Structure 1
Amino acid sequence: MTDKLGGPAGSGSFQDLSDRRKALKALVAEGNAALLPGAANALTARIIEDLGFRAAYLTGAGLTNTHLGMPDLGIVTASDVVETTSRISDVCQLPLIVDMDTGFGNALNTYTTVQRLERAGAAGIQLEDQVFPKKCGHFSGKDVVPLDEMLGKLKACLDARRDSDTQIIARTDSRAVLGFDAAIERAHAMIEVGADIIFVEAPETLEEIRAIGQLPAPQLINLVVGGRTPMAGLDDLKEAGFSLVLYANAALQASVKAMQEVLGSLKEHGSLQEVSDRLAEFTERQRIVGKPAFDALSDRYEGA
C-alpha cells in the first residue's frame, strides 16, 4: 500500500473544496457504477482514501451506531452531522457525500442545514422523503411525507447551495410504503425539480434495479448485506447505468465483527496471541493517521 496520507490534513488530490465538488460531479457523469464506501468517522474516511476509492459517504446510520451506540431511528442531530462532516473533510481530501436524513425539520431547517454542511466540506448532500423521525431504509414500519412537502424541501436544498457543483441527491423511501410504481413517480418528480442524483431506496428485485437505471438522471443504489435489496454484481449495475454504488456500512459491519472476534479471544485466552494476525501493526496505524507528517512539522517548528 503506498503512503498517500501526506499531512495532518490529508494528502488527496483535491485540497480545495470546489475541486472536490467538481471531481464528484465528473465521477457521477461517468455513469460507471463507482464504488462509494461509507464512513462514520474520520479514521474510516482516511482508510477509504488510502485504499484508492474516489469518493466517500458519511452515513447517518453509521454515525448513529458508532457515536451514540443506538439504532438508525432519526436520533442524530444536524449538529452531529455537521461536526462529523467537518472532521472528515479536514483529514480526507476525497469528495464527501453527506447523508442529511430528512433535513432535520421543515424546508427552512433543510435550507440552513445545507448551508452548514456545504461550509463544513460536503461535496454532495442527500435528502430523503421519510417522515421525521426517520428509520433505516431497510427497516420495516417506515412512512413518507406527501410529495409536495418533499419537493419543497428539495427546492430549499437547491436554493441553499452556494456552489452549483455541490450535488443534491434526492432519495425516496416510498418503495416499501407506496409500492414501486409510486417510487418511480416520485423519482420523476424529483428530477423535474432539479435533483442532481436520484436514490430509490430498497428495491427488492433485479427487475426493479434495472428499471431504476432507466430514469433520466444519474442514480445511486445502496447495497446492504442482510437488507431488502439483492446484492447485484458490479457489472450488472454498470450495465443498468448506475453512477454510484453505495456500501454505506460495510466498514462498520466489518469492524463490529472484528472487534467481537479480537476482544472475544482476549476475554477467552487472556492475551492477543491467538488473534495477533488480525491486528494492524503499530506503525501502520500511525501511518494511516498521518503521524510522520506531524513529526515533520514538530521537527520544523520545535527546532526553529
Structure 2
Amino acid sequence: MKKKSEMLREQLKENKPLFIPGAFNGMSARILEKVGFDAVYMTGYGTSLNLLGMPDAGYATMTEMVMNAKYMNNSISAPLISDADTGYGNALNVRRTITEFIQAGVAGVHIEDQIMPKRCGHVAGRQLVPIEEAVSKYKAANDARNELDPDFLLIARTDARGAYNGGIDEAIRRGNAYAEAGADVIFIEGPTSEDEVKTFCKKIDKPILYNSAGVSPRISLQRLGEIGVSMVILPGATMRVAAEAMFDFATKLKQEGVLVEKEWKEGFESNHPIGDFHDFAGFSEVKKLEEQYLTESELDKYKNSIGFQP
C-alpha cells in the first residue's frame, strides 16, 4: 500500500495542474473526496475560524493545526496537504513541526516566511522574516523530512509579493533561495495579475503553486496549465459556502420556527447525494465492522430497535 506522500508525488507528475480544494474539518474533507477530488488541502484560515472561532492571525498553535490535520487525514484515503503557517518558530521548531505533521499522516505542508504572529496572506499588514532566517527554516524542514519520509512534499510559501517592503523582485529572489534550500514547490502568495503569475513561473526553477483566492485573479485550470502552474489550491471556498448556508438556515429558523428543519430535511433526504446523512457519516461501515468482529448476541441490538438501520 502506497504512502499518501507517494500518491501525492505521482499526482504531481500528471501533465496538468493538480487542483486541490480546501477543507476545514473531517466532514468537509470527506465531502471533497466523495465527489472525486484526488487530494485535499487543509486551510489554516478555515482551521482557525472553524476550530477557534478566530481569524487567521496567528492564533492557532502548532498543536491545534496538527490535531485538525490528523483528524482530516484519518477521515479520507486521499493525500492531505496542510497549511503549517510559519513553522511555529525558528529552524529548530520547524524540525519538530515537520515531524509532527508527518506523524499525523499528512502528505505535505507549506511553510511561509512571515514573522510571528502571522496573518492571512490576503490581508494587509504582513511582514517578512529576513531571508537568511527563512532559508535556515527550509533547510531544517528539508533535513527533517528526508530523515522521516523523503516523499513528504515541502512547499515554501513567500508572502513577499504583497508584504510590507516586499514586491515582485523580492518574491522571485526568495522563491529561488527557498528552492535551493530544498523546497519541492514554491508558493508565491498574492500575485495580482496573470502576467505576474507568468513571471513567477518563468523566473523560478521549481513547480509553482497558485492560490486562487483573495487578491489574486481567478484563472481557469487550463490557462494556469498553459502558463506553467503545477498546483492550484482553493482554500476557503467550501468554508464560505458552508458558513453562508448555515447563516441563511439559522435566520430562517429564527424567523419561522422549528418546523423549518422538517421541511428542509424532507427535501434534502429525497434530492441530495448525501441526503442519507447517517450513511454518509459512516454508520453503515460501523455495522459492517460489527458484523466482522462482534458475536451474534451482541448484534441482537439491531432487532426491534428504532432508528436508522444500515
TM-score (norm 2): 0.88
Question: Which residue among 211, 214, 230 is the counterpart of 1:243?
Answer: 230
Q: Which residue is equivalent to 1:3?
A: none
Is contact 1:198–1:218 with CA below 8 Å preserved after alignment? yes
TM-score (norm 1): 0.89
Is contact 2:268–2:275 with CA below 8 Å preserved after alignment? no
Question: Which residue among 258, 262, 269 is the counterpart of 2:249?
Answer: 262
Deviation at 1:274, TM superposition (A): 6.5
Deviation at 1:30, TM superposition (A): 2.4
Q: Which residue is equivalent to 1:168?
A: 154
Is contact 1:197–1:220 with CA below 8 Å preserved after alignment? yes
Structure whose alpha-carbon radius of gyration is higher: 2
Change (3 A) 1:293 1:278: closer
Question: Which residue among 277, 280, 303 is the counterpart of 2:295?
Answer: 303
Deviation at 1:255, TM superposition (A): 0.2
Deviation at 1:299, TM superposition (A): 2.9
Is contact 1:197–1:217 with CA below 8 Å preserved after alignment? yes
CA distance in 2, matches of 1:281, 1:95: 23
Q: Which residue is equivalent to 1:13?
A: none
Deviation at 1:93, TM superposition (A): 1.1
Deviation at 1:283, TM superposition (A): 5.2
Counting only pairs closer than 5 Å after superposition, residues 206-245 of structure 1 correspond to structure 2 as 206-214=194-202, 215-224=204-213, 227-245=214-232
SS at match of 1:30: coil
**RMSD of aligned C-alpha atoms?**
1.7
Is contact 1:115–1:160 with CA below 8 Å preserved after alignment? yes
Question: Which residue among 271, 286, 299 is the counterpart of 2:278?
Answer: 286
Name the structure, 1 or 2, with higher relative contact order (CA <8 Å, separation 6+). Answer: 1
**Matched letter for residue 188 of structure 2:** V
Is contact 1:31–1:218 with CA below 8 Å preserved after alignment? no
CA distance in 1, matches of 2:281, 2:263: 26
Is contact 1:20–1:95 with CA below 8 Å preserved after alignment? yes
**Matched letter for residue 144 of structure 2:** A
Counting only pairs closer than 5 Å after superposition, residues 46-61 of structure 1 correspond to structure 2 as 46-61=30-45
SS at match of 2:3: helix
SS at match of 1:239: helix
Deviation at 1:102, TM superposition (A): 0.3
Q: Which residue is equivalent to 2:177?
A: 189
**Structure 1 residues 11-65: Cα deviation after superposition (integer angstroms, max 9, x where no partner):** xxxxx5x521111112223251121111111111111111110111111111001
Deviation at 1:184, TM superposition (A): 0.9
CA distance in 1, matches of 2:277, 2:112: 36
**Matched letter for residue 291 of structure 1:** F
Deviation at 1:232, TM superposition (A): 1.1
Question: Which residue among 240, 247, 265 is the counterpart of 1:253?
Answer: 240
Q: Which residue is equivalent to 1:86?
A: 70
Q: Which runs of 5+ in 2 are unaligned?
A: 297-310
Say how many residue pairs are matched.
Answer: 286
Q: Which residue is equivalent to 2:21?
A: 37
Is contact 2:86–2:113 with CA below 8 Å preserved after alignment? yes
**Structure 1 residues 246-271: Cα deviation after superposition (integer angstroms, max 9, x where no partner):** 00111101101110111111111213
**Matched letter for residue 242 of structure 1:** V
